[in-house]
């Protein structure tokens, strides 16, 4: 029983190990990037479109709409980052139907890397949007004494993002593995289906949380309304 | 009992207790959250998109406490650091 795909090692040369996490991450990256490249090679703007172009347009406009509804009014600026997060995690869990596949998101290294990307992206987008001074000032909202708590929340939510995704993905693989030893015929398939649903929900949640964090970091502070004199 | 047996017994028992008790609170909390969301959906069907999104995000937040407990018990069973330490000590002798 493997706790994570890090422990499945295909090839080793001294210090360098080629484990299942790295292999399947690169396979997914190649499939996603190569597939998009193949589809966008000949795009049409007329009414005659290929099926694949329609599919990609549905995906991209759907993600952009979700980002906009979550509070970022210009989704085109952020869809490169947030859309990639969603698509990677969603494909990582959907590909679970293939036999030898191990989801790379069931390894703590992958989820920690994704969470660190969010951890870096939030201040980056915030600084680009409202400048260094204004962004740093947002840590002192509402009062100066909240500064340590704001920093702690920044760190703890990164940890929570990583552990949440890891726990959900790992538990799916683990439950199927345990059930295979108890009831080996039909029931693991049902649990795999449930795992697909959980994977999609987790992909949605990871990207929507990243969106909400970025939206909180980029929100331009409105000037305080003047007190009404009477 | 030698120390290996004590560690094994303690790890297995605590792993069960961790998941058992750790999922009780989040289960109650998720039930309440879903019930409240359903009644507000019945009252305001127009706001269903916002309510559903907030519900999902909130459920993920609540569920993550149960997931933490699950991860701790999985570590206790499959990747127990104390167990590995004792095995290394036994091999050295």
B81 close contact with A: CB closer than 8 A = no
Quickly tell me which residue has 């207790």 as its tokens: B17
Structural domain harbouring B28 = 3-92
pLDDT-derived band at A2, boundaries 50, 70, 90:
low
pLDDT at residue A222, rounded to an integer: 53
Contacts of A212 in chain B (CB under 8 A): 57
C-alpha span between A64 and A60 (Å, rounded) = 6
Nearest to B74 among A3, A164, A205 (CB): A3
Between the alpha carbon of residue A47 and those of residues A43, A44, A53, A64, A191, the distances in Å are 11, 8, 12, 22, 42
B47 close contact with A: CB closer than 8 A = no
Q: How many domains does chain B have?
A: 1
Q: What number of other Cβ atoms are within 10 A of residue A25's Cβ? A: 20
CB contact under 8 A, B57 and A209: yes
CB contact under 8 A, B60 and A209: yes
Residues A146-205: tens digit of each pLDDT: 888 888 888 988 988 898 899 888 887 777 778 888 877 788 888 888 888 888 988 998
CATH code for the domain of B36 = 1.20.20.10
Q: How many domains does chain A have?
A: 1
CB contact under 8 A, A168 and B67: yes
CB contact under 8 A, A208 and B71: no
Stretch A37-54: mean pLDDT: 84
pLDDT-derived band at A227, boundaries 50, 70, 90:
low
Q: What number of other Cβ atoms are within 10 A of residue A22's Cβ? A: 18
A226 occurs within a structural domain:
no
Stretch A90-114: mean pLDDT: 88
- ipTM score: 0.73
B91 close contact with A: CB closer than 8 A = no
Residues B23-80: tens digit of each pLDDT: 999 999 999 999 999 999 999 999 888 898 888 888 888 888 888 898 888 888 888 8
Structural domain harbouring A118 = 5-218
CB contact under 8 A, A164 and B60: yes
């Amino acid at each position: 029983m493997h706790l994570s795909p890090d422990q499945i090692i295909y090839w080793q040369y001294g210090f360098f190990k080629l484990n299942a996490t790295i292999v399947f991450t690169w396979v997914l990256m190649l499939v996603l990037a190569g597939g998009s490249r193949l589809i966008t090679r000949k795009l049409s703007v007329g009414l005659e479109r290929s099926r694949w172009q329609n599919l990609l347009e549905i995906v991209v406009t759907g993600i952009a709409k979700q980002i906009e509804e979550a509070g970022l009014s210009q989704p085109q600026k952020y869809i490169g980052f947030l859309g990639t997060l969603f698509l990677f995690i969603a494909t990582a869990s959907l590909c679970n139907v293939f036999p030898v596949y191990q989801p790379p998101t069931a390894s703590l290294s992958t989820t920690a890397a994704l969470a660190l990307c969010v951890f870096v992206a939030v201040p980056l987008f915030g600084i680009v949007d409202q400048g260094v001074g204004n962004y740093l000032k947002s840590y002192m909202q509402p009062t100066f004494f909240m500064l340590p708590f704001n920093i702690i929340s920044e760190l703890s939510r990164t940890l929570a993002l990583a552990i949440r995704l890891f726990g959900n993905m790992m538990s799916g693989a683990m439950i199927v593995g345990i059930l295979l030893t108890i009831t080996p015929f039909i029931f693991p398939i049902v649990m795999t289906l449930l795992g697909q649903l959980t994977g999609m929900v987790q992909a949605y949640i990871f990207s929507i949380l990243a969106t909400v964090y970025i939206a909180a970091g980029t929100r331009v502070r409105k000037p305080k309304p003047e007190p009404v004199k009477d | 009992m030698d120390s290996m047996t004590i560690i094994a017994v303690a790890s297995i028992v605590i792993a069960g207790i961790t998941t058992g008790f750790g999922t009780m609170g989040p289960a109650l909390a998720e039930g309440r959250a879903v019930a409240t969301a359903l009644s507000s959906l019945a009252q305001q069907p127009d706001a269903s998109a916002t309510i559903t999104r907030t519900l999902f995000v909130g459920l993920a937040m609540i569920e993550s406490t149960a997931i933490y407990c699950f991860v701790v018990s999985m570590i206790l069973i499959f990747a127990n650091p104390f167990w590995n330490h004792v095995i290394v000590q036994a091999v050295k002798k």
